[in-house]
Amino acid sequence: MDLRIINIYGPCHNREVFWNHLLNLSITNSDNIILGGDLNFSIGFGESWGENAQVDHLSDITEKLLEYHHLIDILMVKPQPTWRNCRIWEASLSRCLDRFLIKESLLHRLSLYIQWVGPGGISDHSPILMEIFGPSQKPRSPFEFNSTWLSDPSYTQLVTRFWLSNPPSLGRTLAEGF
């Protein structure tokens, strides 16, 4: 599968202009695109923590822009801030500014995708991590069964004798790891 991942460092100022321009570039029109990084926006009140928690004033505009461009904001395994202003008490503020966005058409072709926040480091941002899996492939079976064996009387006798002389024991099976 062809996959295009773009790392973005969104600006603090003129965010609406930046996002309109970026999402109208031909590079972001691919159906196999993932945008990720410090996107510098939060969506809704649930992505802001602290005494000064507030909704990002561009939250509604950003949601409509993402919807228009068919980009899906993947939910975090455990929602938590990705940025902290490193202040204390009432000046403390944390937000979810870092994330991955996946093109809707790509999302439908993935069998599993998860996103989470990693442990912080020396930056005021915590890393975001994403793991994706493509369409699941049925593994080749190590056991092949030929149904014509069932029509041979000696096969049925062989299986019956084996099971009678080696009855399965749940305790033995679990202890031996099957």
Taking the C-alpha atoms of residue 172 and residue 3, their distance in angstroms, rounded to an integer, is 47
Q: Comparing 28 with 176, which gets the higher pLDDT?
A: 28
The owner of tokens 């994706």 is 132
- Kind of pairing, strands 48-49 and 94-95? antiparallel
Determine the structural domain holding residue 116 and report its residue range: 4-133
**pLDDT for the residue 100:** 92
Residue 107's Cβ-count burial label (10 Å; 0-12, 13-18, 19+) is middle
Model confidence at 173, pLDDT cuts 50, 70, 90, reads: very low
Helix (H, G, I), strand (E, B) or coil at 60: helix
Q: What is the DSSP string of 139-153?
A: PPPS----GGGGG-H
**pLDDT for the residue 172:** 47
Taking the C-alpha atoms of residue 5 and residue 36, their distance in angstroms, rounded to an integer, is 7
Model confidence at 44, pLDDT cuts 50, 70, 90, reads: confident
What pTM was estimated for this model as a whole? 0.69
Total of domains in the chain = 1
Q: Comparing 159 with 80, which gets the higher pLDDT?
A: 80
- Kind of pairing, strands 94-95 and 98-103? unpaired
Nearest CA to 82 out of 50, 119, 54, 53 is that of 119
- List the structure tokens of 84: 């902290």
Taking the C-alpha atoms of residue 69 and residue 64, their distance in angstroms, rounded to an integer, is 9
- Model pLDDT for residues 9-30, shown as the tens digit of each residue: 999 889 889 988 998 888 888 8
- Asked if the structure places residue 111 within a domain, the reply is yes
3-state helix, strand, coil in the chain (%, to 5): 30, 25, 45
- List the structure tokens of 66: 């993402």
- Model pLDDT for residues 109-136, shown as the tens digit of each residue: 888 889 999 987 788 899 999 998 776 6
- Asked if the structure places residue 142 within a domain, the reply is no
Domain CATH code at residue 32: 3.60.10.10
Residue 101 clears pLDDT 80, i.e. is over it: yes
- Asked if the structure places residue 26 within a domain, the reply is yes
Model confidence at 141, pLDDT cuts 50, 70, 90, reads: low
- Asked if the structure places residue 176 within a domain, the reply is no
Answer whether 128's CB lies under 8 Å from 117's CB.
Answer: yes
- Asked if the structure places residue 102 within a domain, the reply is yes
- Asked if the structure places residue 112 within a domain, the reply is yes
Residue 175 clears pLDDT 50, i.e. is over it: no
